[in-house]
Amino acid sequence: MTPGESTFSIGLPVLLALLGSGAVVLPRYGLWARWCQARDLAARSQREDVLKHILKYEAAGRRPTIDSIAGALEIRSNRAAILLQDLEEHGLIFFEGGSLRLKPPGREMALHIVRAHRLWESYLAEQTGVAEQEWHQRAERHEHLLTPQEADELAAQLGHPTRDPHGDEIPEPNGDLPPEQGQPLHALAENTPVIITHIEDEPKSVYARLCAEGLRAGMRAFVMEKSAHQIRFWADGNVHMLATVLANNISVVPSPEFNARDLAEERFLSHLGPGQSGAVLGLSSACRGSERRRLLDLGFVSGTRVEVEMVSPGGDPTAYRVRGTVVALRREQAGLIRMESAPPP
């Protein structure tokens, strides 16, 4: 559990039973008060989620609608309409030419929610051991709990990051939400070197599949082969095969500094076999947070020679000798360590 999380949860039938038994006796601090607070937070969170949805659609050049809001929040269209009416009555949105627009107070609130979400994801990635698949869901809860001042303090604690772990830009307070950069991986021509700029974290099932593939923002890649239904591509030393619908959740930008052959010839520690050795060039930009700090602390810094000491019977993990010490790494960890190219034969 991360700081600020609450484990309290109570259903209405249980609450009514407790009320009938006289168990709730403190109006300000009892179960009734906590249930009311949870109800108010849920209602406020929905309103803020609507504002966030409108802001994101505006940034992407898309037109938010009642149906798009209902789909994003997983609510009925009539509930979305009620939320929009409430936001309009409170001076947070307005309708212009049949389109939804944010008023300055609504824009400020929506921008804060987006900023808080991306900062909290950065915190989970950099300073906790929370699994990558859980970052988005936890940030969805905490974005509604952080005040603007707390968000500023968290940004300072993290060193004022400019992007979250998925590659999204973290907006400045009272700034603008920039549009997402890049294009879907599947839209590129074959053998075009690119850098992955964004891994879409919704829907959850798709994001879990991309995480399982070990794909992260910051990786270098190129398309090897594609069809209407699937795509085969290289990314930081590994070949991946994905359905087109999954690959479209990966955004990339061209990287003219490299060509496909240069990338294909890159070596990573995971490529070394028993008895082989090499010098570390550095860590992949996709390696971050506690994982990056651990590898650096173990001695995997530029210029350090590493030798494969032993491979487990199952092939994973592998033991490496680095600076006189033997350490074991999983294949996915070793795949984040760039090695010098093999000398020509």
What burial letters (b/e) apply to 90-124, b meaning 16+ CB within 10 Å?
Answer: eebbeeeeeebebeeebbebbbbbbbbbbbbbbbb
Residue 325, in any domain of the structure: yes
Residue 273, in any domain of the structure: yes
- Tell me how far apart the alpha carbons of residues 48 and 61 are, in angstroms, rounded to a whole number: 20
Token pair, residue 1, equals 């559990």
Which CATH number is 67's domain given? 1.10.10.10
Q: What is the 3-state secondary structure (H, E, C) of 248-292?
A: CCEEEEECCCCCHHHHHCCEEHHHCCCCCEEEEEEECCCCCHHHH
The whole domain housing 286 covers 267-339
Token pair, residue 337, equals 């360590």
CB 319 within 8 A of CB 327: yes
**How many Cα atoms within 13 Å fall on the side-chain side of residue 266?**
26
Which CATH number is 257's domain given? 2.30.30.90
Contacts of 299 (CB under 8 A, 6+ apart): 322, 323, 325
Residue 295, in any domain of the structure: yes
Count of structural domains, the chain: 3
**Residue 136: closest CA among 160, 120, 115:** 120
Same domain for 252 and 116, yes or no, is no
Same domain for 193 and 222, yes or no, is yes
Same domain for 205 and 330, yes or no, is no
* pLDDT per residue rounded down to tens, the chain (345 residues): 444 444 444 454 544 454 454 444 455 666 777 777 778 888 889 999 999 999 999 988 889 999 999 998 889 999 999 999 999 999 999 998 888 999 999 999 999 999 999 999 999 988 887 888 888 889 999 999 999 999 999 999 999 989 888 888 999 988 888 887 788 888 888 888 888 988 888 777 888 888 888 888 888 888 889 888 899 998 887 889 999 889 889 999 988 777 887 787 788 898 888 889 999 988 887 787 778 888 999 999 999 999 999 988 877 889 999 998 999 999 888 988 989 876 544
pTM: 0.71
